[in-house]
Amino acid sequence: MITFWLCLAVTAAIGGTILCKLKKSPGQMGRKMVCLVGLGGGACLLSLSLFWGSVIFSLSCFLTCTFFSGQELLPVDQKAVLVTGSDSGIGHALCKHLDQLGFTVFAGVLNAQGSGAEELRRTCSKHLTVLQLDITVPEQIKDAYSKVVEKVQNKGLWAVINNAGVFCLPGDGELIPMKGYTQCMAVNFFGAVEITKAFLPLLRKSKGRLVNVSSMAGGVPISWMAAYSSSKAALTMFSSVMRQELSKWGVKVSVIQPGAFKTNILGTSDMWNKMEKDILDNLSPDVQEDYGQDYILRLQNCVKSMEQKADSDLSPVLLDIQHAISSKSPCAFYSPGIFSFVCLCFINFIPTSIFDHFSQKVFDFKEIMPRALRRSDWKNKAM
């Protein structure tokens, strides 16, 4: 009985300490710390002897101290960071956030004369530099590299944040034109690889950070997102390999896998209409007959649904990226957004058949069916 109350008191004390630390800590530290306390507390409550109670108590203290020592935040000291895709959305908000924290920010934008770039120049400090940087154009990457080297000189570049990304109109993998797959891979994967390879000498010199913004969709198969998900899955695996290879150089690599957040990546109605036309123009007659034009024209409903469900508060993503570049021991993976964390855990621990059933219930639009599947004789013909 004494062991029970001792363990309970110790767990409460550790929990209180963690909650105090939590208020000062950015990123997803809270989730890990709460899990640690819950694990330690539950184990203590279940212990039936003084010996095991003492062992669990000691282990909890050790893990907590180790965790806190690794979460120490490094001083900003105007560390230089490069952010791609800063015209709008997460990249734009991140540049403002890091600038306010005191970082020297290089904001790579697709259009240096656009409204997003002008807003960054107008609202941020003199420590932020806007760079014309289309990550699919090698000449612009080389030019950006030269400008970064010229400005940072001996201070070096602390972090590269590969945030730039594109999305294509959701649709069955059979319907998405090859141009959609190519564009997603060109920007979401090959572009990030090109930026990484170009700036790695600077990161190795500073023993800095490489942060790649992937997506929950890169780890969780979601219907109608074959092109986007495949490119993000490639980026996630690339990051994992680079994490291992760069560890000997002292460079730490993190992957951000956000859930649904409201940004401009989904595009505009004009873009959706153009993508619809591309789909219809590239389909063979038999495929178009099976799916039906009305089915394809209703795919925009999926985009509208995504927009409605997306979270407009980008702070979870910004805080996780801040933690990735500021923490003494950053996490390998961050999953801002409740659904991202839950779904990524879900797919890793349950049978595939169960996940597929769950996914169809959550992500599929049952009111939108291909023409052939709406016919009552379809199953008989298939048999």
What b-and-e string marks burial along 195-219, b requiring 16 or more CB atoms within 10 Å of the CB? bbebbbebbeebebbbbbbbbbbbb
The residue from 145, 181, 228, 291 that is catalytic is 228
Task: For the beta carbon of residue 268, count every other beta carbon within 10 angstroms.
Answer: 9
Name the residue among 317, 311, 340, 282 with its Cα closest to residue 94.
317
> At residue 294, what is the residue type?
D
Q: How far apart are CA 301 and CA 356, in angstroms?
A: 22
- Residue 81, class by beta-carbon neighbours within 10 Å (0-12 exposed, 13-18 middle, 19+ buried)? buried
Kindly write down the DSSP assignment for every residue of 221-250, as one continuous string.
--TTBHHHHHHHHHHHHHHHHHHHHHGGGT
Alpha carbon distances (Å) from 142 to 131, 145, 244, 339: 11, 5, 26, 38
In the sheet that holds 80-83, the strands lie side by side as: 128-132, 104-109, 80-83, 159-162, 209-213, 252-256, 333-334
Query: Is residue 228 among the annotated active site residues?
Result: yes
Pairing status of strand 159-162 against strand 128-132? unpaired
CA nearest neighbour of 92 among 177, 29, 195, 165:
165
| Distance, C-alpha 303 to centroid of its chain | 19
- The residues assigned a catalytic role are 228
